[in-house]
Amino acid sequence: MLKYLLFFLAISSFANAQEQRIEWRTGIKDTSYNTQRDFRNNIKKYPFIKLVVEQQMPNVTEKRNLAYAKIGDRKLLIDAFLPKSKSKTAAVLIVHGGGWRSGDRSQHIPLAQHLAAKGMASFTVEYRLSTEAFYPASVFDVKSAVRWLKANAKQFNVDTNKIAILGFSAGGQLASLVGVTENVKKLEGDIGSFKYSSKVNAVIDIDGTLSFVHPESWELQNINTNKGASAMWLGYAGNERLDLWKEASPFTYANENKVPFLFLNSAVERMHAGRDDFKKLMDKKGIYTEIVSFKDSPHSFCLYQPWFDLTVNHITSFLEKVFK
């Protein structure tokens, strides 16, 4: 009798988890995170900050709303910001934040414009959020964007040996995961052309977590929580599918990593789980890894002055160093 009761409870728990997964995937865009709202929240504590807005930069050509992939009738869009250069340039693929559930690529148009003005072709990429599709859909999308960029490198005058991926917050986690999993077939997906690889040559992680299962991670410390952004992206709380949480953690693949990393970090320590241990491993492997921390800064420091120009300068100097 006890055996049947336990079986019933297990089935009931599974059914509840499945029902909850369906509720999370609303199909409706979540607009809870956007730059203006973030600014209103942060200016209360940091009254001196100034939001950096997009502007037409001299010697930069813009091509917006390009389709890099198509899933059924659904187009995935990307914007290109290109330096007016006769020689091939390095490229930066920029992945926005928003807890894998909100936000959009317009968040980093100012950053893309300023990097292009510094001589690097820059691209702001859209990906499917968790209201539309659970992990690993967004990973498939971003990897597809890398392959698309390589396939169109001639059009954009890009050196395919100098492609960096950059992400902020959830985008930082995605950028890192794409950077360390070039040989993980299950994370490649089936979108777009496979004539080109999804390999990138450098990663810039702006306050994106490296691990959901590291002892420092908020997710592991709150493993029973099933309403966090991570759970809603992965589709399960950690106590339901810890294996999936590990699979989606960039730190899991640290021993196989071959590309240099730049970490640009705020004063919000919980966003940096696994970072220091990752650097120790990279130092042993002789892979260049740089950490820059901004004291007394909010999580979204990269969107605001006085940190925006510093962010651009650190990215530029890092890429000049690793792409020389």
Query: Three-class SS string for the chain?
Result: CHHHHHHHHHHHHHHHHHHHHHHHCCCCCCCCCCHHHHHHHHCCCCCCCEECCCCCCCCEEEEEEEEEEEECCEEEEEEEEEECCCCCEEEEEEECCCCCCCCCHHHHHHHHHHHHHCCCEEEEECCCCCCCCCCCHHHHHHHHHHHHHHHCHHHHCEEEEEEEEEEECHHHHHHHHHHHCCCCHHHCCCCCCCCCCCCCCEEEEECCCCCCCCCCCHHHHCCCCCCCHHHHHHCCCCCCCHHHHHHCCHHHHHHHCCCCEEEEECCCHHHHCCHHHHHHHHHHHCCCEEEEECCCCCCCHHHEECCHHHHHHHHHHHHHHHCC
What pLDDT score does 19 carry? Answer: 53
What pLDDT score does 86 carry? Answer: 87
Cβ proximity of 244 and 208 under 8 Å? no
**pLDDT digits 0-9 by tens, 297-317:** 999 999 999 999 999 999 999
CA-wise closest residue to 149 among 184, 167, 125: 125
Q: Which domains does the chain have, with CATH numbers?
A: 30-322 (3.40.50.1820)
Q: Can you give the pLDDT of all 324 residues of the chain as single tens digits?
A: 444 433 333 333 434 454 557 688 898 989 999 999 999 999 999 999 999 999 999 899 999 999 999 999 999 999 999 999 889 999 999 999 999 999 999 999 999 999 999 999 999 999 999 999 999 999 999 999 999 999 999 999 999 999 999 999 999 999 999 999 998 999 999 998 899 999 999 999 999 999 999 999 988 888 877 778 999 999 998 889 999 999 999 999 999 999 999 999 999 999 999 999 999 999 999 999 999 999 999 999 999 999 999 999 999 999 999 998
What pLDDT score does 20 carry? Answer: 56
Residue whose structure tokens are 């940190």: 307
CA-wise closest residue to 161 among 169, 148, 150, 174: 150
- What global pTM score does this model have? 0.93
Cβ proximity of 32 and 107 under 8 Å? no
**pLDDT digits 0-9 by tens, 239-291:** 899 999 999 999 999 999 999 999 999 999 999 999 999 999 999 999 999 99
Question: What phi, psi does 86 have (nearest 5°)?
Answer: -85, -25
Q: Is 209 left (phi over 0), alpha (psi -120 to 50) or beta?
A: beta
Cβ proximity of 304 and 51 under 8 Å? yes
How far apart (Å, rounded) are the C-alpha atoms in residues 240 and 254?
A: 24
Cβ proximity of 285 and 316 under 8 Å? no
Residues contacting 277, CB < 8 A, separation 6+: 214, 251
What pLDDT score does 183 carry? Answer: 86
How far apart (Å, rounded) are the C-alpha atoms in residues 210 and 239?
A: 19
Residues contacting 307, CB < 8 A, separation 6+: 294, 297, 301
